[in-house]
Structure 1
C-alpha cells in the first residue's frame, strides 16, 4: 500500500485537490498503535488514511493553517490534550447516532467536539521480589516516607503524570497536592527521566522498587523479547484515591473545523467506535475499549479487576494548568 510521506502531507494537501476518498489525520499517538486500525478501515472501505505524526505544536499548527488545513481528524492521548484542541477553536461538533450509541457519555464531550476511543489506567508497577502484597494500595501512599529511595517515574511534566496530579487536585485540593508532590519527590530513587517502560527496566535492574506507568505498556513489553524479562520482574497494582477509584485517562478523536473530507472522516470515526475496531484496540494495544460489551484482551484481564475513578474527565482537564504549576513550584523534575 503506497502512502504519502508524512513530511509532504500538509504541503501536498494544500497545493492540490484531495481525492474524494481519503482521510488526513494529525496524530499524537505512536504510529504502531493505530496503523492496524487504519489498514483495516482502508481494506473495508477503500478510503485511504494519511497520517502525520506530530509530537509537538499540533494546536499551533492547526491554528496557523486555519481553513486551509489538510487535516480532517486529530487523534491524541490525554483528556487535557483533547480539551486543548477544542478550546483552541479548531474542531467542530459531530452529530452521529453511531458514536452516541457506542461511546458512553462520560467518554465524549457534552458538545460532541471530541470522542474517547480507549481508556487506560495509571497504575503502579511493583517488584515481585521486593514489594509485598498490599504494601501499596493508594496514590496518596506514594508520599509516605517508607518509600524513600524506592520510586521511579518519568518526568512529572509529562501528560500522564500531570493527569494524575490534576486528579489529585480534584480529590484533595491544591495545598494537599503540593505536599503530596513534595513527599513523592522525596521518595524518588533517581531524577525523573525516560518513559514508562524505562521505569520497569529500572525496577528489574534493582534501581527502585515501584514505578508509575500506564497499563498497556505491560502488554507491549511482554511482546518484546528484549523487554520480557523486565515485564516479568514486576506485577501490576491498581491503586485508588482514598475517596475514589483508579485514575483513568483516554485516547480520543476530534474532527477539525476545516475537515476537507468530512464524510470520509466521519466514516473513520464511526469505524473506530465499532466492535471490530474496539476489539483491535483491545487485542493489539492492550487498552480498555470504551464501547460496552467489547471483551478485554485475555492478557489485560489476567492483571485483575479494579474500580475506575468517577471524576469527570473535563474537571481533570481543567486542573491540568494547576498541576503543571505545582510540578514547577516543587521542582519535581529537578
Structure 2
C-alpha cells in the first residue's frame, strides 16, 4: 500500500504529497487529525479489500484552515478528526458535504452522526472520573454533578477547561441543565480544584498517584494506554474508574469521526472508505488499536475495555451538544476556570 504520511507543523506548509489539481484517480485522499499509526492497519485492510490506495496528510491542527484556503482545488476527499468540536467546525465553515448510505445509517447510531450526513462518528471515548484507590471508596462519587460537592474541596485535578474534551463535557452539562445551573456547577468544580488546570488526561492520573489530588476527569482510552505501558502501568493501577451518571442519563462520550470534504475529487472511493470504516471489520480493528468503544453497536470493545464494565452512553445527540460549544467556552471564561 502507498500509505504516505507527512507530519506537518502548525503552519501547515504548502508542500503536500498530492497533486495541486484535484483530479479524480484510483486513490482516496485524507486529511487527518488522527495519528498515522492508528490509521495504518485500517487503511491497509481497506486497500487489500478494494485495491484503492489511501493517502494521508496528518496534522495536529489547522486542517480546516487548509481546506478553506484550497477551496474547490483541494485534493482532500475525507477529513478524519479526534473530537466533535473539529467536526462541528468543518460543518460551520461549509467545508463538508452530505453523504447518506444504508451502511452508514445502519451501523452508526443516530446520536453519533449528523442529522444530514455531514459527519459520522467512528469511535467513542467515555469522559470518566478517575478516583484514588486509597482515598476514595468505590461508590463515593457516581455523577458529574457531584464533582461540585464541597466534600471534594481541594481534591480534584483536571486539564485546561478550554481543552475540546472538557468543552464537550461542559456543553453536555448545558444541554442537560441549562446555562445558569451548568455555570453554578462549573464554579463548584473550579472551587474544588487542588491545583491550576494543567497537563493532559494522563497527567491527572499521575497527580492522583502522587497524592496531589484524589479525583480527575479523563478519556477512557488514556487509561488503557497507561495500562499497556510498562512505565505507567503501576500508576494507572492506583486509580479506579467511575462511569458517571451510569444509572440515569448515561456517561458523556466524545467521538473520533469522519466527514467528506465539499470538493472531494474522488467521491466514489471516499464513500467506499466511509462505508468500510463503519463496518464490523474496521470497527473491530479500531477497538483493538486504541482502547476506544466502537461506534457500531454490533461490535464489542476490546477484552481490556470490556473488563472495565458496561458503558451506558448518554444518548443526547452530539450534534445537539456541539450547538452549545460556544456558550461553554464563554462559561469557562466567566468563571475563570483556568485561573
Q: When the two structures are superposed, what TM-score results if normalisation uses the length of structure 2?
A: 0.92
Query: Which has the higher mean CA deviation after the structures are superposed, 3-12 or 265-274?
Result: 3-12
Residue 101 of structure 2 corresponds to which residue in structure 1? Answer: 96
Instruction: Give the Cα separation in 1 of the matches to 2:192 and 2:257.
Output: 33
Post-superposition offset of 1:241? 8.3
Instruction: Give the Cα separation in 1 of the matches to 2:97 and 2:332.
Output: 32
- The partner residue of 2:69 within 52, 55, 64 is 64
Residue 229 of structure 1 corresponds to which residue in structure 2? Answer: 234
Q: Are the aligned partners of 2:284 and 2:300 in contact in 1 as well (CA < 8 Å)? A: yes
Residue 220 of structure 1 corresponds to which residue in structure 2? Answer: 225
Post-superposition offset of 1:140? 0.8
Does residue 110 (structure 1) correspond to residue 127 (structure 2)? The answer is no
Instruction: Give the Cα separation in 2 of the matches to 1:124 and 1:68.
Output: 44
**SS at the partner of 2:141?**
coil
Which residues in structure 2 correspond to 1:165-244 (within 5 Å)?
Answer: 165-240=170-245, 244=249
Does residue 264 (structure 1) correspond to residue 264 (structure 2)? The answer is no
Quote the RMSD (CA, aligned, Å).
2.0
Q: 1:222 to 1:18 in 2, by over 3 A?
A: farther
Does residue 137 (structure 1) correspond to residue 137 (structure 2)? The answer is no
**SS at the partner of 1:129?**
coil
Does residue 47 (structure 1) correspond to residue 47 (structure 2)? The answer is no
Query: Which has the higher mean CA deviation after the structures are superposed, 254-263 or 234-243?
Result: 234-243
Does residue 79 (structure 1) correspond to residue 84 (structure 2)? The answer is yes
Which residues in structure 2 correspond to 1:239-318 (within 5 Å)?
Answer: 239-240=244-245, 244-318=249-323
- The partner residue of 1:155 within 156, 160, 169 is 160
Residue 21 of structure 1 corresponds to which residue in structure 2? Answer: 26
Post-superposition offset of 1:80? 2.7
Could you list the per-position Cα deviations for residues 19-42 of structure 1 after superposition, in whole angstroms to 9, with x for gaps in the alignment?
Answer: 722221111223333222122222
Q: Which runs of 5+ in 2 are unaligned?
A: none
Post-superposition offset of 1:213? 0.6
Q: Normalized per residue, which structure has more helix?
A: 1
Instruction: Give the Cα separation in 2 of the matches to 1:168 and 1:10.
Output: 42
Q: 1:4 to 1:283 in 2, by over 3 A?
A: closer
**SS at the partner of 2:162?**
coil
Q: Are the aligned partners of 2:111 and 2:316 in contact in 1 as well (CA < 8 Å)? A: no
Query: Which has the higher mean CA deviation after the structures are superposed, 6-15 or 72-81?
Result: 6-15
Instruction: Give the Cα separation in 2 of the matches to 1:275 and 1:148.
Output: 45
**SS at the partner of 1:64?**
helix
Instruction: Give the Cα separation in 2 of the matches to 1:87 and 1:25.
Output: 20
Q: How many equivalent residue pairs?
A: 334
Post-superposition offset of 1:17? 6.8
Post-superposition offset of 1:116? 1.2
**SS at the partner of 2:154?**
coil
Q: Are the aligned partners of 1:218 and 1:231 in contact in 2 as well (CA < 8 Å)? A: yes
Q: 1:55 to 1:236 in 2, by over 3 A?
A: same
Could you list the per-position Cα deviations for residues 207-259 of structure 1 after superposition, in whole angstroms to 9, with x for gaps in the alignment?
Answer: 11111011111111111111111211111110118962211222210100111
Does residue 33 (structure 1) correspond to residue 56 (structure 2)? The answer is no
Q: Are the aligned partners of 1:171 and 1:243 in contact in 2 as well (CA < 8 Å)? A: no
Post-superposition offset of 1:286? 1.4
Instruction: Give the Cα separation in 2 of the matches to 1:325 and 1:17.
Output: 39
Q: Are the aligned partners of 2:21 and 2:73 in contact in 1 as well (CA < 8 Å)? A: no
